[in-house]
A and B are shown apart, each in its own frame.
Chain A
Amino acid sequence: MESRALDIPGVFRLGEARRKPDQSFPLNLGREGVHEICEARHGDMAAMTGFALAAARPPSGAVFWVRQFGLAREHGGLLHAGLSRLSDCPTGLISVETRKPGDALWASEEAICSGAVGLVIAEIETLDFTASRRLTLAASRHGVPLILLLPWRREGASAATARWRVASRPSAPNAFDARAPGASRWQAILEKSRQAPHMAGRVFNIELDHETLSLRVVSGLAAHTPAARPAPADIDISQALPRRQTG
């Protein structure tokens, strides 16, 4: 485990090659830089939250969650009991709730510049270019990753490291009960990327593994719909269980 004591950008340590930006999925989401994650359609906010939490590696410092007030009414607030199914974070979340969108951006910037926080996740309504540029500069200067969760209306230019569109997909087949939902699956489209511009527009189909809490990229799988539940009157008892002679 390398130590991060002298991880000031621009300082080279002897014997260590410069880290190349990660070209594979998830392109340093949650490891460095500012990533915007947007809904593909209205109602995918929960899928986005799960994707963000699962893709970001467990941070070494505290996790700061900044949210804007109105979004909790529309998409629901965060439930901490559901966090353990998505990521194993060594510390709990510290959350900040703000009324104005400008305050949420200010709080995110303060958290990045403080040096006490390992990861900042912010749920905000909208973001203009100047603000995204400021946040990107601050994140690269201090080495703290920032994930922004934005609603589906997000369009336009941005200075962020990458922009993702996440939609939820039908889940994997459940091994124990064919009629129950299985492992969560999402479709993440990398709309824009500064680190790997040739990968822009690429579609990833992702599945969350429950035991290891890691993401797996799967090829587009067709999930078969299970048979409809039979009504109780239709079940024939004599056909269901073969009679056996016991003695």
Chain B
Amino acid sequence: MAAANASARTLGISAGLGFTDARARCPDLMHEDIDREADSRALSRLGHWMVRLSPLVALDGPDGLMIETTGCDHLHGGEPAMMENVASLLERNAIPHRLGLASTPGAASALARAWPGHILADGEEAADLTELPISALRLSQEAETLLKRFGLRQIGQLYGIDRKALGRRFQSRSAADAVLLRLDQALGLRHEPLAPLREAPSHVSRLPCPELLLATEGVQAGLEWLADDLCSRLADIGEGARAFGFHAFRADGEVSSVAITLARPVRTPKHILRLFSEKLDRIDPGFGIDLLMLEARRTGPMETSAPALSGDLAASETDPVLLSALADRITAKLGEGAVQITEAHESHLPEQAERKAGFDGHLPAPAGPHVSHGPRPIRLIEPPEEIKVLAEVPDGPPLRFIWRRVPHAVTRADGPERLAPEWWTWTAPPPPSASPEGVDRKWLNPKLDRRADAAFIARIRADLEAADPGEPVANLPRARDYYRIEDEEGRRFWLFRQGLYEDGRGGAPLWFMHGLFA
């Protein structure tokens, strides 16, 4: 038996009982394997739904949720009213629950497990936790049995024990075994950080719906109200946000969310609404929505500049704000990373000399001509396609070639332009020498006479080469010789021969088609 509910407990079945014993107490008992994964998924779904109360929700063991309510209780009218609200929310969805409210997570967890419904006042932890059993402290099985053997059954009995002795006896890395740690966390002497399910947003705006929303028009109207509210708050502090999340909490314990990202910080409601309008039909009202929430993340200061009075005085012809708005609209429909710019990158290989990067609101710089390159084609075929070539050996241009099963006869050729391979990516660094003095130090010794110590030098060199033979020549990368080719119809190609004849790096070189010239 993994766990028992109230009706099982009345029959005398408790957690940890064997199946045959339980069968003896209740003859028509059915059995099924417990699915811990499904349980944890359901728990995290419930945790996401509980975000409606507070942005910081964390999991507490396999069957609990920890909700940070600092600053949220006034929304419900005080702490007792908040507990009742949460209890009614859970009851409406038929989730059996035990609630506890305290100023430390440890004490709250203890109350929830052993004294449900109780609210602990600030500073009263020691007094209120006295009567609770040890099992409320989230300890492991072994620690609990050990404490029971010592006769310690209530938390109050732990107060009197010497702290050093307790710490030494129950020293362990895992929190469940460290009794002193758990006690201090419950009493508030040690801080316990929560690992929230979702990162807390910078600003949140909430709209509770007294009547359940069933139609998208209602959701749209709610989103407009929330956007206005959130943007006015952002405008008060002079910031804009780059990511917005919209969540619709349903009455049946589910959450439906959509999110947008922007290239520049924004606080105009119209812009945000336009980006959301395409995604709004992904919100599923289900049986009814009773809370709408809009979050702003990645806030930062906004650069606002006064627009020029007339077009003549404008500094540049492109308005970067309009360009970012365009990029945002395209990203919202086509997904993240749809709008790209190309950045130059230091590399010999033409296919790696340019990289695509996401657009971040600034106009890209023009691609200047690289002075040390030969002419480059306008289109690049990536990856290069192998072709059959008839060419003069060893370094003549092709005379005829077949590409994609179409033969071409070459009338004009230019080249070769040699691109050497990037040897630094292939050779390994020398290994650290093993001996304390180091053979290298003797090698660098200036007193070594080249003629007198020739035998010594030869021996050291043989030692060095034996230690690191280096990459065999057959594995080294091959150079590329690029040719600009024109065929009889006027098409211009850029192809290369990979490797040289007789370079020892593996057989006869192959030819590849890499680009097309205009």
A residues touching B (Cβ–Cβ < 8 Å)? 3-6, 43-47, 49-51, 53-54, 60-62, 72, 75-86, 88-98, 103, 106-107, 110-111, 114-118, 167-171, 174, 177, 179-181, 184-185, 208, 225-226, 229, 231
Asked whether A97 lies within 8 Å of B340 as measured between CB atoms, the reply is: yes
In Å, the complex CA distance between A82 and B485 comes to 16
Given the interface pairs A47-B518, A98-B338, the reply to whether A76 lies near B379 with Cβ below 8 Å is yes
Instruction: For residue B112, give the distance in angstroms from its CB to the closest CB of chain A.
Output: 50
Q: Return the contact of A116 from the options B319, B341, B359, B377 (Cβ within 8 A).
A: B319
Given B310, B330, B489, B492, which contacts A5 in the complex, CB threshold below 8 Å?
B310
B338 touches A97 (CB 8 A): yes
- Among B348-383, those with CB < 8 Å from A are 350, 353-354, 356, 359, 363-370, 373, 375-382
Return chain B residues, CB-CB under 8 Å to A111. 326
CB–CB B484/A43 < 8 A: no
Cα distance A216–B366 in the bound complex, in angstroms: 25
Query: Measured between alpha carbons, how far is A60 from B316 in the docked complex, in Å?
Result: 8
* Pairs across A and B, CB under 8 Å, 7 listed: A46-B377, A50-B518, A76-B381, A168-B491, A181-B412, A229-B392, A231-B392
Q: What residue in chain B is nearest A51 (Cβ atoms)?
A: B518
**A98/B342 contact (C-beta < 8 A), A79-B377, A82-B376, A92-B367 known:** no
A169 touches B490 (CB 8 A): yes
Partner of A49, one of B412, B490, B518: B518
Given the known inter-chain contacts A76-B515, A80-B354, please indicate yes or no for A49 contacting B318, CB distance below 8 A. no
Q: Which residues of A contact B354 (CB under 8 A)?
A: 79-81
Per the bound structure, the CA–CA distance linking A95 and B380 in Å amounts to 16
Residue contact A46 to B411, C-beta cutoff 8 Å? no
Q: Are A171 and B318 in contact (CB under 8 A)?
A: no
* Bound: A53/B342 CA distance, A: 17
Task: List the B residue with the shortest CB-CB distance to A76.
Answer: B379
Contact partners of A91 in chain B: CB under 8 A: 318, 363-366
Residues of chain A within 8 A (CB-CB) of B312 are 3, 5
Instruction: Identify the 5 closest CB pairs spanning chains A and B, nearest first.
Output: A50-B518, A5-B311, A92-B364, A46-B516, A116-B322
Closest chain A residue to B337 by CB distance?
A97
CB contacts (< 8 Å) of A94 on chain B: these are 323, 327, 339-341, 359, 364
State which of A4, A92, A184 has its C-beta within 8 Å of the C-beta of B363.
A92
Cα separation A3 to B441 with both chains bound (whole Å): 72
Query: Which of A5, A62, A75, A171: most chain B Cβ within 10 A?
Result: A62
Interface pair A168/B492, CB less than 8 Å apart: yes
Check A79–B378 contact: CB distance below 8 A: yes
Q: Is the CB of B488 within 8 A of A170?
A: yes
B504 contacts the other chain (Cβ, under 8 Å)? Answer: no
C-alpha gap A231/B323 in the complex (Å):
58
Choose from A46, A81, A168 the contact partner of B376 (Cβ within 8 Å): A81
State how many angstroms separate the Cβ of B189 from the closest Cβ of chain A: 57
B401 within 8 Å of A (CB atoms) = no
- Whole-angstrom distance between the alpha carbons of A177 and B413 in the complex? 10
Chain A nearest Cβ from B147, distance in angstroms: 62
- Complex Cα distance, B518 from A78, in Å, reads 11
B76 to chain A, nearest CB (A): 44
Q: How far is the CB of B231 from chain A (nearest CB, A)?
A: 22
On chain A, the residues within 8 Å of B359 by CB distance are 94
Verify B382–A77 contact, CB threshold 8 A: yes
Docked complex: B264-287 residues within 8 A CB-CB of A: none
Check if B325 is an interface residue, CB within 8 A of chain A: yes
Contact A107/B342 with A79-B379, A168-B490 known, Cβ cut-off 8 Å: no
Assess the B311–A96 pair: CB atoms within 8 A. no
> Which A residue's beta carbon lies closest to that of B379?
A76
Closest Cβ–Cβ distance, residue B313 to chain A (whole Å): 9
CA distance A170 to B491 in the complex (A): 7
Are A98 and B334 interface neighbours, CB within 8 A? yes
Q: Is B317 an interface residue (CB 8 A)?
A: yes
Asked whether any CB of chain A lies closer than 8 Å to the CB of B517, the reply is: yes
Nearest-CB residue, chain A, relative to B513:
A76
Interfacial chain B residues near A80, Cβ < 8 Å:
342, 344, 354, 367
The answer to whether A62 and B412 touch (CB under 8 A), given A93-B342, A96-B339, A170-B490, is no
Whether B350 contacts A81 by the Cβ 8 Å rule is yes
B300 at the binding interface (Cβ < 8 Å)? no
| Further contacts, 16 of them, CB under 8 A, given A78-B380, A116-B323, A169-B490 | A47-B491, A50-B518, A61-B318, A82-B378, A83-B366, A86-B378, A92-B366, A94-B364, A96-B330, A110-B330, A118-B318, A179-B413, A180-B412, A181-B485, A181-B486, A184-B492
Query: In whole angstroms, what is the CA distance A160 to B474 when docked?
Result: 57
Contact B489 A95 (CB under 8 A): no
Q: Is the CB of A77 within 8 A of B380?
A: yes
- Determine the residue in chain B with the shortest Cβ distance to A6: B311
Closest chain B CB from A176 CB (angstroms): 10
